Amino acid sequence: MAQIDAAAESCQTVGQNQGNFSKPIFWETQVKKTFALWLALGCAFAAAPARAHHGTAGYDMEKIITLTGTVASFDWANPHCLVHIDVKDEKGETKTWLIELAAPTLMSRAGWSKESLKPGDSVVAETHPARNGVTTGLSATASLLLKFVVNGHDLPSH
């Protein structure tokens, strides 16, 4: 019986003098540890897409192709500017290419603006094509800006 009384005394409670609220200390510690674990796992899973998003692994960075076509649309928005270019393939069929550029702030620093491209503009663009063969490419990152010629005029590039 003395052992039981000693165990009961050692399991002190938090908030004993605060009304009817009573939790064992070990339980509160366990809840904090569990919360911290879930928080850490949540942060790790949330960060994974951000790391993947900014990678270039989906593009063949060793290869540069030149596309000649017409601007279908130009999205000047975060997180990346996007250019949709209608390009005729070797069979004469029109394929729409999606070209990813850097963020608007980086493109502005390079000399571009939201008025740099307009639907209907004639464009010649260099891009790193997607590795999986889809009609998408990467033409600008924080440290790279490939050549764009719009209506016969070069846009700023590095």
- Structural domains of the chain sorted by starting position, each given as residue range(s) with its CATH number in brackets: 2-53 (no CATH), 65-154 (2.40.50.140)
Amino acid letter, 92 = G
Q: What is the pLDDT of residue 84?
A: 98
Amino acid letter, 128 = H
For 136, phi then psi, to 5°, come to -140, 155
Q: What is the pLDDT of residue 37?
A: 62
Mean pLDDT of each 10-residue bin along the chain, 158 residues long: 50 49 63 67 52 74 97 97 96 97 95 97 98 96 93 90
Q: What is the pLDDT of residue 41?
A: 59
Torsion of CA 80, 83, 84, 90, to 10 degrees: -120
Which residues, other chains included, contact 137 with Cβ-Cβ below 8 Å and sequence gap of 6+? Answer: 59, 65, 67, 97, 98, 99, 100, 127, 128, 129, 130
Q: What is the pLDDT of residue 29?
A: 72
Q: What is the pLDDT of residue 13?
A: 47
Q: What is the pLDDT of residue 48?
A: 45
